[in-house]
Amino acid sequence: MADTSTKQRETRAQFVDEPETRIGGDTTKVIRSAMKKRQESSRGNNNDDDATAIVSSPLLTSTPPTISKALVKLYPHLIVADRFLTLVTWSGEDIWPSILMVILYVTLLLYFEKITTYFGHLAIVAVIWGYSLLDKHVEETLNSRPTLDDIVHTMKGVITKADMLLSPITVLSAQDIRKFLFTTAFLSPVYIIITLFILPPRKFLLFGGVYLLTYNSPWSMVTRTLLWRFKFVRLLIFYVTGLDSGGINKNQGIFAAVQKQVKKLSTGSDGATVEDGKPIRFTYVLYENQRRWLGIGWTSSMLSYERASWTDEFLNEAPSPDNFKLPEESSGMLWKWVDKTWRLDMTNDGAIQLSSARPKTTASPNADDGFIYYDNTWKKPTTEDSFSKYTRRRRWIRTAELMKTSSFGLDEIDTTHNVVDNSSGSNHKRVVSQNSVASTVPK
């Protein structure tokens, strides 16, 4: 190594940093630390990363501190979102708040002028008061020591309700929306005539708003399913929105999706992990690092003090692809590989521009594919090799899916061919877990 840089050991002043909690440690200081931040929030520096943990619970032991801290901070906003969504999707225990919301909307709309002239400033006061309440609420929820399970539970609630809210939208495709846009743009004179003579904009807004707000209410759903049976209604909708009549099943899709959500919510309200249509997939990333030795060429043996030959995205030591095992599954979930083998990301995470024809990832790359070359100190990345380049790395990815063990019939486990043999034998024998919520997991 003629030219190893004479990098002298850098004497660096270290910040005093309280020891990170050991995963599984039971220190219960996260709430206190969060509150501490609140008290001295006036000092403004709230990015101290002192140790955090909440009342020990099975979930806590296995969650890295960054995630638990982030979740705790998100919790108050989650609660607000949850309340709002229950209001809008009429999925709360009692539907009176939703009805109240609709009535409020109607009154506000009808008497807009009077309200603004006499009570305009009250609206502003209300807004500022709302913000202050939110501030107080954030502190209260943080004092009430939420456990990670509560957080996960509220998150699930929010997810299902948001899905319900967005389900009629996600069924459409980008093309549909563009078509909608052009049809409404061209039909706008018709709409103008309607609003000018028949339906003044206020009324139009009134009906539109009420329709949207009560979209998910049980009555409107029933009325919609009934109305949809009439041919005339489908033609009308076709003319108004340009959605071709062939979209019947699509509309059906909307209703079906909404029905399923509401059913799940009503039955699964006891917080059981509810599975929805989409598979839960994660990518595992491995970086293969190599160094060029004079005379030998590119080998994966690295210098002692620098990164290992196989690392993750954060340059921590990682097992090589052959003995890379999926994490042991814990509560009712099973990791399962989706890709058969590790695939090389030819674009090296977007750094290399590929001609569009070539596939983005290949399972069997040749020796020099997808590499980014660096100088001796892993700096100045380039895509081409040159005499001054001594190190290089490429990116391997593999997608894994998180399956619910409860959804596995015993027979299914044996037939899943793509379960990589290296996953430890024990979880094959796992008995179907106890909660028997029948939820279909599409293959």
Residues from 175 through 194 that contact other proteins (CB under 8 A): 177-178, 180-181, 184-185, 188, 191-192
Residue of the chain from 35, 104, 124, 236 that contacts other proteins (CB under 8 A): 124
In the stretch 25-64, what mask flags binding to other proteins with x, by CB under 8 A? Answer: ----------------xxxx-xx-x---------x--xxx
Is residue 308 helix, strand or coil? coil
Tokens of 188: 């706008």
Residue recorded with tokens 């609206």: 123
Choice from 259, 327, 422, 428 touching other proteins (CB under 8 A): 327
Residue of 2, 128, 357, 431 interacting with other proteins (CB under 8 A):
128
CA diameter of the chain: 88
Stretch that binds other proteins, among 109-117, 242-250, 414-422, 433-441 (CB under 8 A): 109-117
CB contact burial 415-428 (16+ within 10 A = b; e otherwise): eeeebbeebeeeee
- Minimum Å distance from CB 403 to other proteins? 9
* Residue nearer to other proteins on the CB measure, 28 or 61: 61
Q: Please list every residue from 190 through 219 that binds other proteins, using CB under 8 A.
A: 191-192, 195-196, 200-202, 205
As measured in angstroms, the least distance from the Cβ of 43 to other proteins is 7
Q: How many Å apart are CA 271 and CA 264, to the nearest integer?
A: 11
The one-letter amino acid code at 347 reads T
- Residue 256 Cα distances to 44, 59, 263, 382, angstroms: 49, 34, 10, 52
Sequence-distant (6+) residues with CB within 8 A of 250 are 171, 243
Rounded CA separation 285/299 (Å): 21
> Minimum distance between the CB of residue 163 and other proteins, rounded to whole angstroms?
8
Is position 282 an interface residue for other proteins (rule: CB under 8 A)?
A: yes
| Closest approach of other proteins to the CB of residue 181, in Å | 5
Question: Which residues ranging from 224 to 263 are in contact with other proteins (CB under 8 A)?
Answer: none
Identity at 228, one-letter amino acid code: W
Q: In the window 75-94, what residues touch other proteins (CB under 8 A)?
A: 77
The footprint of other proteins on residues 404-443 (CB under 8 A) is: none
DSSP string of 389-431, one letter each residue: --EEEEEEEEEEEEEEGGG--HHHHHH-TTS-TTS-GGGGGPP
Per-residue contact track with other proteins, 300 to 319, x per CB under 8 A? Answer: ------------xxxxx-x-
Check binding of 113 to other proteins (CB under 8 A).
Answer: yes
| Shortest Cβ 280–other proteins spacing (Å) | 5
Instruction: Count the site residues for other proteins by CB under 8 A.
Output: 107
Q: Which stretch binds other proteins (CB under 8 A): 28-36, 161-169, 227-235, 298-306?
A: 161-169
Q: What is the DSSP letter of 330?
A: -
Smallest gap from Cβ 100 to other proteins, in A, equals: 21
Residues numbered 334 to 393 that lie near other proteins (CB under 8 A) are 334-335, 345, 349-351, 360, 372, 381-383
Q: Are 338 and 283 in contact (CB under 8 A)?
A: no
SS3 state of residue 7: coil
Minimal distance, residue 145 CB to other proteins, in Å: 18
Q: Which of 2, 5, 15, 426 binds other proteins (CB under 8 A)?
A: 15
3-class DSSP string for 350-385: CCCCCCCCCCCEECCCCCCCCCEEECCCCCCCECCC
